[in-house]
Amino acid sequence: MAICLTYPTNYPANHILVEVKSRTLSRKLLDGLERVAEGEAKKLVGKPHVLFILKLINQFFDDNPLSCVAEEISHIKRLLGNEDKLKLSQKTSSLTLLVTKNKYYLKTKVNVPNNYPSDRITLESAETNFPRVFKAWFVEQAKEIVRRCVEPPLKPKPNQPPFEPKPSLEPAVGFLVNNVKRYPDEICQGCKNKALPEDPAKVVHSEHGAAHVERVYCSHLYHHDCLILYMKTPPFQGNDKFHHFCLKFGHFDGNR
């Protein structure tokens, strides 16, 4: 962030003019901060007030560390439903997210580092009543999305511009919200019934259980026994061959 101060010819009889610039903070936030700073400067006309304005702006960011993700938070809120919750803690520079769909939920805490977006956000204390394999996929895939935002690729494409870290909060949280909202309504591609039970208490966690839900790499869901039957049923061509490829070689969907 850069603060540009323009002195009028008869300062301090006239107030200082304030302009705040940043490559990472939203323009809406900066405009509001400029209005507040100049409003306070007007109250101090006739007295030196440059140091006061600089301290005011500095104190704002000390008291509101989540201001660096204000625009991303605004976008995330648009994805949430009435029963979802997003609680902000300026004191700990963190967000607590609760996403629900039917009776399923995912709750996690997201920490925003001081050097954001150069440094990555971190997820902790993930709780969910989805099957264990879904919890692992939700969390690990969100972490992978975050990593790609802040770390350059090991094998960059030719003629690519130099890598620069990108904001990682919205991509990771957006991934979690979209998939928690998606999977409770997904059907098993074998039997064509809902893959997950209506009551999360009836979720089968054993990977060898007949009704255990498998998420294949192309993002479709199958009950364990439905998948076994599907893979063993001829003819082994067309879509069968495609799904066999997905299972064997790890075809990734758009979220991976």
Lowest mean pLDDT among 75-79, 168-172, 216-220: 216-220
Residue 33 pLDDT > 80:
yes
Element (H, E) at 95: strand 94-101
**Which residue is associated with the tokens 């956000």?**
121
So what's the pLDDT on residue 256? 36
Give the confidence band of 155 by pLDDT, cuts at 50, 70, 90. confident
So what's the pLDDT on residue 255? 41
**Judging by DSSP bridges, how do beta strands 104-111 and 94-101 pair with one another?**
antiparallel
Q: What average pLDDT does the segment 88-109 reach?
A: 96
Spatial contact of 194 and 213, defined as CB atoms under 8 Å apart = no
Q: What average pLDDT does the segment 132-137 reach?
A: 92
Residue 234 pLDDT > 90:
no
d(CA 16, CA 228): 73
Distances (CA, A) of 107 to 60, 117, 177, 221, 222: 29, 23, 10, 22, 25
Give the confidence band of 128 by pLDDT, cuts at 50, 70, 90. very high
d(CA 117, CA 100): 28
Residue 211 pLDDT > 80:
yes
So what's the pLDDT on residue 248? 46
So what's the pLDDT on residue 236? 63
The structural domains of the chain, ordered by start, are 2-63 (3.10.110.10), 66-153+162-180 (3.10.110), 186-256 (no CATH)
pTM for the predicted model, two decimal places = 0.81
Element (H, E) at 225: helix 224-232
d(CA 208, CA 117): 42
So what's the pLDDT on residue 203? 94
So what's the pLDDT on residue 136? 92
Amino acid at 5: L
Residue 191 pLDDT > 90:
yes
d(CA 248, CA 254): 18
Q: What is the mean pLDDT of the chain?
A: 89
Q: Which is higher by pLDDT, 207 or 168?
A: 168
Q: Which is higher by pLDDT, 11 or 156?
A: 11
Q: Identify the DSSP state of 76.
A: H
What contacts 126, CB < 8 A, 6 or more positions away? Answer: 106, 107, 108, 135, 138, 139
Residue 250 pLDDT > 60:
no
Amino acid at 125: S
Give the confidence band of 169 by pLDDT, cuts at 50, 70, 90. very high
Q: What average pLDDT does the segment 237-256 reach?
A: 48
So what's the pLDDT on residue 1? 84
Q: What average pLDDT does the segment 129-142 reach?
A: 94
Q: What average pLDDT does the segment 160-179 reach?
A: 94
